[in-house]
Structure 1
Amino acid sequence: MAVIAVTKESRAGETRVAATPESVKKLAGAGFSVVIEAGAGVAAAYPDADYAAAGAEVVKTAKDALAKADILFKVRAPSDAEIATLKPGTIVAASLNPYQDKAALEALAAKGATAFAMEFIPRITRAQVMDVLSSQANLAGYRAVIEAAEAYGRALPMMMTAAGTVAAAKVFIMGVGVAGLQAIATARRLGAVVTATDVRPATKEQVESLGAKFIAVEDEEFKNAQTAGGYAKEMSAEYQAKQAELITGHIGKQDIVITTALIPGRPAPRLVSAAQVASMKPGSVIVDLAVEQGGNVEGVKLGETAVTANGVKILGAPNLPGRIATDASALYARNLFAFAGLLLDKEGQLAPDYEDEILKAALVAQGGAIVHPALKA
């Protein structure tokens, strides 16, 4: 019986956990044995007793858990101490952030681990249930609106009162992927007037279906601005200039701006300039979901709320899914449970088929080397 270990997250501020009592029960039913480091789920409101009741073995330390592990499930990359403890050949599945956290990837390769980057799961129908980027971005988009509403000194919906009318807040979402769509839906539910923009033409209909207005320069380049994988292409300088002109006229009228744009393997694109920030009203709020990849907004500071000279708040809070740790962990754990099924053969033995298109796309290190084509030096 293959043993899955789940340990505490070592990254500062990481409150999520890679397994929940629900997923432990499902993993046990699928033929896995699960070992949990004591306290691994406490920050996400999953106590040790619940894991034990679900069938996991709860052990005192990460070293104890890893000593038995054939597979390690993590939210983030394992720490240096954990990597040193791994048995060669241990399968590691985590959001490894391989483009930025190359040191951890190299350490995993040097240890002989078989490492899968969950963010490399391909966006195909069969893999939707394993798509950690979507499950976590969905919650990030929701939480971004909640963070903005808390920082904004006014109400979001229009309110008719005996003392007068409170105008609805104007919310502008920049980047309409999974996070952006959820942000639109959440802001609309809270009663805001919502507009949104994206360089991918397919998003226009999605935005309008949620009751928001789409804002973009809809020229020929715009019509071809999406990759086969559904990601945004990097736009030309000419298009960016035209779009910036349109956005500059729009952004100064907004109360809340939420930016979500990311390009895999590259720094986050700059969407909002200092001049555009300066055009906004005092008390306006910007939430930059791309802050960990350099940020979409000029002046954003990782882990801080920057207040500009004209009184605009720029929120640079990282890891917004970690601020909804219970639900974020539950979704992530379900992603990993679905992924775990690919590691077993028809007889229930640990025997991954490395030619499977999902495993092949997510495999980043094996046999002492970094093997993913996008990551090779």
Structure 2
Amino acid sequence: MDQTEALEAERTRLRLTSRHLYGAGPLNPADEFEAIATWLRANGRHDSGEEFVAGVQPDNYGTGALVEEFEGDLAELFDMPAARFMPSGCMAQPIALRIWSDHASNPVTAFHPTSHLELHEEHGVRELHGLTAHLLGNADRPTTANDVKALIGPGGAAHETGIASLLVELPAREIGGQLPSWEELVTLSDLCRAENIRLHLDGARVWQAAPAYGRSLADIAALFDSVYISFYKDVGALPGAMLLGPREFIEEAAIWQRRQGGTLYTAMGNVISARLHLADCIERMPRLVERAREVAAMFSAHPQASALPDPPQTSMFHLKLSGEVDDLLAARDHVARETGIWLFNTLKPVEGETAARTELSMGPASLTLGDDELAAAIAMLFAKP
């Protein structure tokens, strides 16, 4: 084993044996499957007096009580007419935009420059669905009604064609979990309705937005025509997504899901996993939003660190650290050895500066760390060797 391999092996050991500041911390992958198996046994076939009762049955190609009851629960939670369980947001969101474009007979959509569809999906919305996507607004801030006006107004890139739909991410991950103000969001929704533009919510992390706004999930969803949510981000379940909207829209989405190979023979494990974790996620999220602000303040107490945004608006933020990446990673490792606390994972250099940036998303692990021990670990990160 050479020196580089030895260093990576040591870092893997530290990461897996330390208490984490972000996320859920290191987990044994077997635990989730054991929890699913336990739930299935508790709800499985059993004798009821003299009658043999069949327990939970697998869903079959997207149908059956297991998945349909869960879809109904989510539709009720967001106060939307219907919902459809899908394997991923990479499938669900382009389908939503395709349907809205078909309804409008207009293959033009729009979203933020840092949208997941632009950065991480190999332009599937264009290559699979034939849509043209305009990037609107400033990459460093949330989308506003003025951005839409500039796009579709005189001189705008979509002035002649208009747009069939607009995708808005709440909160916007790539800019530190920022949100537009509630008033700005309402204004954006009103404009889209006045201009007959379907407004779609990328709600991968919308669980964070509800306590940040002091509004219910249904209040937020009421401003949109369709909504996507994720079950592995924040919720901590196995992969899975839900698309919500009008009943006809969801029926069309189910057809597109089948066309793209997304109706699996069964998604039983993923559905049960989401059901097991969702309530806990919603319950703890207000505390995690508070925790993000507490943690950001601990870092910002040191001149070598700053948070974006400051203070955090949701349960996540970006942390900027002064220094060379290798030196900062070595300091992180030292903190882990001395305190048993893993402060962050990867670092990305900040262009044009001797600094690096990382994302911190608060999860259950952050609530297990005491303020005093965490503050001491952060101070150690910046202490001169």
Q: State the TM bucket, normalised to the shorter chain.
A: 0.3 to 0.5
Q: Which has the higher contact order (CA 8 A, sep 6+)?
A: 2
Q: More helix by proportion, 1 or 2?
A: 2
TM-score by length of 2: 0.32
